[in-house]
Amino acid sequence: MIRLLVHCACVTPAVLLALGWQNTHLGVDPEKTLIWETGIWTFNLLIVVLVLPNAAAWARWPQLYRYRRAVGLWTFSYASTHFLLFITFLLGWDLGRLAEEIRERPYVLVGFSAWLILLPMAATSTGGWMRRLGNKWRMLHTLVYAAVTLAAIHFLMMVRSDYSWAVSYACIALILILARFIRFGKRQASSSGSSPQSSNEAH
């Protein structure tokens, strides 16, 4: 039941955008609105992916962690849609212009780099890949922190006047990254602290 609610919540923005497009409710520049909103929802879901481990720990509800993969796949779906809409509406599928866009607008390269990071994560999200990669799977999926960093930079570079939202998102991303490092540090300290004790018990 919870899994169904997670999927329904993730698909709702896409459905609303599709309805807005069909009914011409997306403002004077609907193409730009679609590109913008799919980018924002990619960032929103990236944040949810990073929040879920902390929320599961704080709520003492470890089952919450199992929905991270579903949210992660929806994140990649929105990111891919964002990229496809950019190619469709702004480049007209003239891929030869992509190098020019990257040269004139570096934020395009930053955003594309974030998408490239999400691609192998989405491709290896199945249980089969988890078993094949073993510990490497966990290392690969920690790249989500690199993806959210690039997403924050992409957002900041895109903005021309009002930086409030971009800075807010960047601050949230920074807090979540710091929380990850703190959690990792505590885990390392705990494991190193237990090693001498185990050694003494062995003697």
* Assigned token pair, 139: 């290392």
CA distances from 49 to 8, 45, 69 (A): 16, 6, 8
The predicted structure's pLDDT at residue 202: 43
- pTM over 0.85? The answer is yes
pLDDT tens digit string along 154-175?
999 998 888 999 999 999 999 9
With CA atoms as reference, report the closest residue to 79 among 48, 123, 35, 49: 35
Q: What are phi and psi of 87, to 5 degrees?
A: -65, -40
